[in-house]
Structure 1
Amino acid sequence: MASTTFILLLPILLLLNPQAQAQAPAPAPSGQLNLTAILEKGSQYTTLLKLLKDTQQLSQIQNQFKTNSQGFTVFAPTDNAFQNLPSGALNGLSDDQKVQLILYHSAPKYYSLSDLLTVSNPVRTQSPWGLNFTGGQGNQVNVSTGVVEVQINNALRQQFPLAVYQVDKVLWPKAFSADANSPSPAPAPKKKGSNKGTATPTTDSKNDSNGVAGMKNNVGFGMVLGFVLLCMRVLS
């Protein structure tokens, strides 16, 4: 009987005991994921962070990977990657293109490196264009835009719901340029007939000059003939 009473009173005793309450596991804090902190810890993403803030995409991306049930993946170009772009390539983009460039570096789903080795291409991004992933030696993963291909070298974070991967080239969209290394258009070909009006003589001009010379000879011959006839009349 006493043991039965003790069992019934045990839950009440645990609730009243502050020490037992202190030993209970606390709920996990929310909102710990911070893309800015992850990139700052990497210490070579100053340009990317500035672009994220200038385009006002930083807060939107952070809200999405916290609320999206499928997670989120970010491909982070290093400062050297931006410096290796052709001169003026980044500054030559419109504000809307800069937004699309940032969105092209993020996918609305969590992908581990092993996932990227077997994923179906193209992989959907936040932009209108997809990315293609291929495997190399070992577990190497390459990502391609159609004009740029680069190996994923380092995982800054690889834990659901957020994966952040370092890339040593900017994932330049094919829609922005036919060639990421030479965005300037090629010089236009010369138009046909551009040599019109040159001093090169034509066959017609040669014939004209010959005709003028012939007329001069005929006039001279007529004057001589007229002079001879005049002399014969005088003598007769």
Structure 2
Amino acid sequence: MAVSQTISDFTPIIMLYLLLHSTLISAVNITHLLSPYPDLSDFSDLLSTTTVAADLTQRTSLTLLAVPNSFLRTSELIRRSPSSTNIADVIRYHVLLQYLSLHDLRRLPPSGKLITTLFQTTGRATNNFGSVNVTYDDKTDTTIVRSPAAYSQAPSNATVISLINNLPYNVSIYSVNSLIVPYGFDLLASESRPPLGLNISKALIDGHNFNVAASMLAASGVVQEFESDEGGAGITLFVPTDDAFSDLPASANFQSLPADKKADVLRFHVLHSYYPLGSLQSIVNPVQPTLATEDKGAGSFTLNISRVNGSVAINTGIIQASVTQTVFDQNPVAIFGISRVLLPKEIFGKNAVLEKSPPISGAPAPFMPMNYSPDLYGPSPPPGEMHSSATVRTVNFAVFCIGLLYVFV
């Protein structure tokens, strides 16, 4: 009975301890994990400059295939300097969204296993060609990672050289002997390639959830204006879903606006620059002018873009929306589905009283095991000092004091 009472008394302390420890969990610092290995410096730089490293901050289970400098510097992809979008997606193709230890690799079936990569999540991969097939040959103790497409262009496979770093159940890093290029890539694509000539209305109709936006764009005539702006710096469109239009507050009488103001609202959904999703997530200047800004004057009709709970948030001053999906992304055009219609305060701010925007939905932070490695989240502690950082000592001391206070009270 006494034992039960003691456990019951200390349950809140245990829960508080776990809660405080959970606050120590922070983003995966993949470039920090690579920093002790000079031969992987070029690959680490690519992770940073393409913003893929930023894409990984919310991932808690992954396998990275890193290419040493000696192999990377002989790659056609690097030597011929193709588009930054291609480079970023090739690097994403080397991020497997599953933790694989050496033991896991050696248990793979002879036919291999299809594993999703970060590239598959962009929406730019055809079918399952954003995945890789990983096979293990027990006779030669060799692991090979290859494109699942039967007729991929070379290099479409790589051999695992060695395990570089392993943080159990979270991150494993292997070196491989080649970059792997996803199926259908043009390695010689140039940043100065001509505009796509994309039919935006058709792209939205093909997306199956943007019929209202497609109809409004076609009726207003601004879609031709957008398509003519594909050249140069490109464009980024934020397109509300059909549900977003049905959720418009009654006080925002969008349909009653005159044609010129409707056009301004539609232009308000377009940036006159090409931003892939990774760039939006790490955008340097959060206040972005829109096509409506160009029409109405500097400082007006701007969007505030930031990252909230792992999603891209877009704030107009009276409405906050989130990016829900990638509809199309190929330089120089990016089209993203968003959760709400972006209402500019210049038109709706004075006369419309809008309800509070709902919080941006995002996956809850996953529970992390207590025996996580400090290497995953910051500089390594000195040998023999597990979890001996000042932060951990401070939290442990605080928990101890709270525990004493609880017992005495």
Is the pair's TM-score, using the shorter chain for normalization, greater than 0.5? Answer: yes
For 1:76 and 1:133, locate their aligned partners in 2 and report how far apart those are by CA, in whole Å: 15
Query: What SS does the corresponding residue of 2:256 show, helix, strand or coil?
Result: coil
Higher strand fraction (1 or 2): 2
Q: After TM superposition, give the deviation of residue 89 of structure 1 in Å.
A: 1.0
* Superposition misfits of 4+ residues, deviation over 4 angstroms: 28-32
Higher Rg of the two aligned structures: 1
- Say if 1:159 and 1:31 are closer, same or farther in 2 by CA, change over 3 A: closer
| Equivalent in the alignment of 1:146 | 317
Q: Deviations over 1:35-89 (max 9, x none)?
A: 1221011112121112112211111211211xx2111100001111111113371
Q: After TM superposition, give the deviation of residue 125 of structure 1 in Å.
A: 0.6
For 1:29 and 1:146, locate their aligned partners in 2 and report how far apart those are by CA, in whole Å: 36
State which of 245, 267, 287 in structure 2 corresponds to 1:82: 245
C-alpha contact 2:201 2:218 (8 A) present in aligned 1: no
- Equivalent runs, 1:13-162 vs 2, <5 Å: 31-65=196-230, 68-87=231-250, 89-116=253-280, 117-128=282-293, 129-138=301-310, 140-162=311-333
Which amino acid is 1:44 matched to?
N
For 1:180 and 1:63, locate their aligned partners in 2 and report how far apart those are by CA, in whole Å: 34
Q: Deviations over 1:187-213 (max 9, x none)?
A: xxxxxxxxxxxxxxxxxxxxxxxxxxx
- Say if 1:107 and 1:30 are closer, same or farther in 2 by CA, change over 3 A: closer
For 2:351 and 2:228, locate their aligned partners in 1 and report how far apart those are by CA, in whole Å: 31
For 1:142 and 1:38, locate their aligned partners in 2 and report how far apart those are by CA, in whole Å: 23
Report how many aligned residue pairs link the two structures.
Answer: 153
Query: What SS does the corresponding residue of 1:123 show, helix, strand or coil?
Result: strand
RMSD: 2.3
Which amino acid is 2:303 matched to?
L
Percentage identity across paired residues of the two chains: 25
Query: What SS does the corresponding residue of 1:43 show, helix, strand or coil?
Result: coil
C-alpha contact 2:201 2:217 (8 A) present in aligned 1: no
For 1:76 and 1:30, locate their aligned partners in 2 and report how far apart those are by CA, in whole Å: 20
| Equivalent in the alignment of 1:15 | none
For 1:30 and 1:96, locate their aligned partners in 2 and report how far apart those are by CA, in whole Å: 27
TM-score, scaled relative to structure 1: 0.59
For 1:174 and 1:105, locate their aligned partners in 2 and report how far apart those are by CA, in whole Å: 13
Which amino acid is 2:308 matched to?
G
For 1:180 and 1:96, locate their aligned partners in 2 and report how far apart those are by CA, in whole Å: 18
Query: What SS does the corresponding residue of 1:118 show, helix, strand or coil?
Result: coil
For 2:342 and 2:351, locate their aligned partners in 1 and report how far apart those are by CA, in whole Å: 9
Higher helix fraction (1 or 2): 1
For 1:125 and 1:119, locate their aligned partners in 2 and report how far apart those are by CA, in whole Å: 16
For 1:175 and 1:32, locate their aligned partners in 2 and report how far apart those are by CA, in whole Å: 32
Q: After TM superposition, give the deviation of residue 30 of structure 1 in Å.
A: 7.2
Unaligned 5+ segments in structure 2 are: 1-192, 294-300, 355-409
C-alpha contact 2:269 2:290 (8 A) present in aligned 1: yes
TM-score, scaled relative to structure 2: 0.35
